Copies of this chain bind each other. A is one copy, B any other.
Amino acid sequence: MSHPDPSGAPVVDPAASAPLESLFASMALIRAFETRVAELYRDGEIPGFVHTSLGQEAVAAGVGLALRPDDYLATTHRGHGHCLAKGVDVDGMMAELFAKATGLCRGKGGSMHVADPRLGVLGANAIVGASMPLAVGAGLSSKLRRQDRVAVAFFGEGAVNQGMFHEAMNLAAIWDAPVVFVCENNVYAEFTDSRTMSRVPRVADRAAAYGIAASTVDGNDVEAVHAAAQEAVERCRVARGPFLLEAETYRSHGHYEGDAQPYKPAEESDAWGALDPLSIAEGRLLERGAGSAQRLAAVRSRARERVEAAVERARAAPPPAPEEAYEHVFHG
């Protein structure tokens, strides 16, 4: 469902869409990363809290590949996939989760705070809703500095009930800031079915309250996500203002690793399980003759190898030196 877009016709040439192969490879990397992280967390190798994005890979990949390296991205506690899809170094991410000195944040951030400003990644964030005002600020910055960088805020459907959503959407609207709000609607916020927390089931329907154009896309169809994201990003790029993109998907693991999920009806998880975004993409690639089952398996195993190499490097890396605990509080 697409809301009427006050500013007119599509801005993206469909032929410019990233090929499905790249999207699949991106998803395979995220799948491998998250799967391995879940194991490592279970085995006590990774400390702290870990929230994986298993089942939601298509959203990260579809949006990530629609972005330029200098575009901004702010995300949530469930942000591994978004960072990887934006091109953040796998070694640096894994080492960060291991709290090693070679981590992107030298072990000070961890899973909930991975960041890489060189790639515009302003960080995962452990405050639900906080990604949105930060992205509006990045978009404002881009606009006022006469750049054409776009800012993307990822957030869950649970975050939509936060005041920050409301304030950030309205600010982006009145400032005409180049911000794409990407709501990853994975049905649950922690243990709560989010449909019980609002009378308006479709997040995209809330955008009208801000005069912001919005659409809902099948979040397990990576091509659909990518096309919608590219459209939204290019609108921003050419200064047509903010956009809200809702991607309907499903969190296949628990809220955090270790969550037994008694609250999920079995039929529901089964139904969504049949809609695995990687399988869908694979099916299409095979259908189109764009790759053999073997080649696709090879993509997946290369991803696992890449991740395993990162794990080995992270394990071997030194922890931060004790005195680093006192560094970086201030720049000046």
List the interface of chain A (C-beta within 8 A of B).
Answer: 161-167, 170, 173-174, 196-200, 205-206, 208-212
Contact = CB atoms under 8 A, between A and B. Distances in A.
A170 B174 contact: no
Nearest to A206: B209
Contacts of A210: 198-200
Closest 8 CB pairs of A and B: A163-B163, A199-B211, A166-B166, A209-B209, A206-B209, A173-B199, A200-B211, A163-B167
Contact of A198 (B161, B206, B211): B211
A174 B199 contact: yes
Instruction: Report copies per complex.
Output: 2
Nearest to A170: B161
Contacts of A209: 200, 205-206, 208-209
Main secondary structure of the interface of A (DSSP, over half): helix
Contacts of A197: 170, 174
Contacts of A196: 174
17 contacts: A161-B167, A161-B170, A162-B167, A163-B164, A163-B167, A165-B166, A170-B197, A173-B199, A174-B196, A174-B197, A198-B211, A199-B210, A200-B208, A200-B209, A205-B208, A208-B208, A208-B209
A205 B206 CA distance: 11
Contacts of A167: 161-163, 166
A174 B162 contact: no
A150 to B, nearest CB: 20
Given A166-B166, A174-B198, A198-B211, 16 more contacts: A161-B167, A162-B163, A163-B163, A163-B164, A163-B166, A163-B167, A170-B197, A173-B198, A174-B199, A198-B210, A199-B211, A199-B212, A200-B208, A200-B211, A205-B209, A208-B209
